[in-house]
Amino acid sequence: MYIVSDSFGEELTLVEGERQVVFSSTRRSPIIEWLLAHGFHESFVEDIQSEEQSITYEDGENFQFIVVKHFQPTEEHPLLYDEVNIFIIISSNKIFFLCDDNELVQRVIDRFRRRYRRGDTIEYITYTLLDILIDMTMQTVELIDDRLEEIEDRILESNVDEEEIQKSLYFARRSLSRISKASVLEHDVINKLYNHFPTTLRKRLRFEFIDLKEHLAYLINESKSHLDRTGYLQNLMMGFISNRMNRAMQRLTGITLIFLPLTFIVGNYGMNFRYMPELQWRYGYLAVWLLNTAIALAIYLWLRRKKWI
């Protein structure tokens, strides 16, 4: 058995009767020709070339077909991940790993070559590929976890960018929700794949597939846990915003409280009464100023003691 690594442009050679592991795109003509020549219908080719594919498992007479998802970061935001379709087709002597993202294919090839051993069966290679993909998704969840820790620290800063944090939490929730749903579906797919193996193979690969299921269970639990954490961070952020608004309102209220009695006093002297004794008093103006200053200072000191301003 040997590996055929197609760099989306190199010549791809499929040898009839030879056991091969093929990494390629869904749109390469040698792949399409091989599929059509080996009983795959044109509608099947159209399906694997469609971007609107859900996670699934199909068991045919001469093949097994798996669709799983990988999550790639987008340019829009570091915490927003898009789904990439990965198709694994398993026949008696070939296994196809098909994906239209060249960079992702090369990353999987590099990891696969480090783990591949001559003599590995098709079924064990299937486990290896699935394990590589699940490990990559686990790394994605760990990266999101690290970013959430950074966001939690930034919330406590005085010059926090509230809009950016709200946007980060929104995109993190979207990505974690996608990963959680995909992990649940992939857990079901792996169960179906394992149950369609012959009894002897199931016994031989029991611990390997238990490992896959445990990793997927970890992904499900961690993604849901981080989803709850984003909700907590949103509440924490809103709490800090609310506290800042309350402090601002306290200051405004304190300022209003200082000027309220002063406005009352000044309002009295704005009335047009003919006989007002203070108007004829030489020191009346100074007395009103001293009274206003004393009242304002007393209220200010009282508010400072109450920590309103």
Q: What is the mean pLDDT for each group of 10 consecutive residues in the chain (309 residues)?
A: 53 74 86 84 82 85 89 91 92 88 90 86 91 94 93 80 87 94 94 90 91 94 92 82 78 85 82 74 83 88 82
The C-alpha atoms of residue 94 and residue 45 are separated, in whole angstroms, by: 17
* pTM recorded for the entire structure: 0.78
Strand ranges (DSSP E) for the chain?
A: 2-5, 20-24, 56-59, 64-73, 81-90, 94-98
For the stretch 70-109, what's the b/e string if a residue is b when 16 or more beta carbons lie within 10 angstroms of its beta carbon?
Answer: bbeeeeebebbbebebbbbbbbeebbbbbbbbeebbeebb
Alpha-carbon 245 to chain mean position: 30
Greatest CA span in the chain, whole angstroms?
A: 119
3's tokens: 């590996």
User: What pLDDT shows up at residue 244?
Assistant: 76
53's tokens: 């594919």
- What structural domains does the chain harbor? 2-243 (3.30.460.20)
**Do strands 56-59 and 20-24 pair parallel, antiparallel, or not at all (unpaired)?**
unpaired
**What digits encode the pLDDT tens for the residues 193-206?**
999 888 888 899 99
101: nearest Cα among 69, 56, 127? 69
The C-alpha atoms of residue 134 and residue 71 are separated, in whole angstroms, by: 10
CB 49 within 8 Å of CB 31: no
The C-alpha atoms of residue 307 and residue 24 are separated, in whole angstroms, by: 68
**Do strands 64-73 and 94-98 pair parallel, antiparallel, or not at all (unpaired)?**
unpaired
User: What pLDDT shows up at residue 51?
Assistant: 76
